[in-house]
């Protein structure tokens, strides 16, 4: 696919209508100040389960249903296959990634291949509980150390990528570990990958409940780390 847009914003969504109705106008306002040649893609469940299609229609953003299952990994793969952006930003649809930070990510696009909204460098912050922060830091340290990834926040999905780097990836993860899989496989394709981390404050979701299953989260991250290190 020819990359005809300056920027694609991809938002996986699973019962996020309330949040999207607040976020989408803000995102459009922010991005329209950066370029007029953009697209916002909301990747919903395989079949709509709430008013997300209507929320997208009312704000004139692209609505697509994920294919291959209702997993987060399926949403990411669907988003990549549909995106036409020379630069691609992933962001959560629950409000934890505030739209105004898009400007800082986009400002670094010419100098870096991947720009990360980082919770764990100086100036970064997260509103999650102490237990979740500890688990997240352990995951990030483990992936960075074992896979030799030189950044502090591997697991935050709020990143800007050179869109061309994403198009050729074969991504297998089904859960949130696909975020780490993307970064690792990009580095394998481009060993001299230029990464920039910017301090970011991670917010609590606005409405609804988290879709993360903690036991599943731990197990899949362990198995994915082993698979990427020894079998990928």
CA separation (Å) from 15 to 61, 95, 127, 154?
A: 17, 13, 22, 26
Percent above pLDDT 70 for the chain: 95
Half-sphere exposure of 222 (CA within 13 A, CB side): 7
Structure confidence at residue 215 (pLDDT): 64
Q: Is the pLDDT of residue 213 over 90?
A: no
Q: Is the pLDDT of residue 2 over 90?
A: no
Q: Is the pLDDT of residue 129 over 90?
A: no
Q: Is the pLDDT of residue 178 over 70?
A: yes
d(CA 140, CA 63): 32
Quick one: fold of 5-230?
Spore Coat Polysaccharide Biosynthesis Protein SpsA; Chain A (3.90.550)
Mean pLDDT, the chain, rounded, equals: 93
**Residue 198 or 232, more confident:** 198
Structure confidence at residue 204 (pLDDT): 72
Out of 74-78, 131-135, 209-213, which region has the weakest mean confidence (pLDDT)?
209-213
């Amino acid at each position: 696919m020819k990359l005809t847009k300056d920027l694609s914003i991809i938002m996986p969504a699973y019962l996020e209508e309330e949040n999207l109705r607040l976020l989408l106008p803000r995102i459009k306002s922010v991005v329209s100040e950066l370029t007029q040649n953009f697209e916002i893609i909301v990747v919903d469940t395989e079949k709509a389960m709430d008013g997300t299609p209507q929320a997208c229609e009312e704000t004139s953003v692209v609505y697509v249903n994920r294919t291959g299952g209702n997993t987060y990994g399926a949403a990411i793969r669907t988003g990549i296959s549909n995106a036409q952006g020379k630069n691609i930003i992933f962001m959560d649809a629950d409000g934890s990634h505030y739209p105004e930070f898009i400007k800082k990510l986009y400002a670094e696009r010419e100098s870096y291949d991947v720009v990360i909204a980082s919770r764990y460098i100086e100036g970064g912050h997260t509103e999650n509980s102490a237990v979740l922060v500890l688990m997240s830091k352990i995951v990030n340290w483990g992936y960075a150390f074992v896979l030799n990834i030189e950044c502090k926040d591997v697991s935050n999905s709020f990143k800007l990528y050179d869109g061309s780097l994403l198009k050729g990836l074969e991504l297998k993860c089904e859960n949130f570990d696909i975020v780490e899989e993307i970064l690792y496989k990009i580095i394998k394709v481009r060993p001299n990958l230029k990464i920039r981390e910017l301090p970011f404050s991670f917010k609590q979701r606005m409405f609804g409940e988290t879709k993360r299953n903690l036991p599943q989260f731990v197990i899949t991250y362990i198995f994915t780390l082993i698979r990427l290190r020894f079998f990928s």
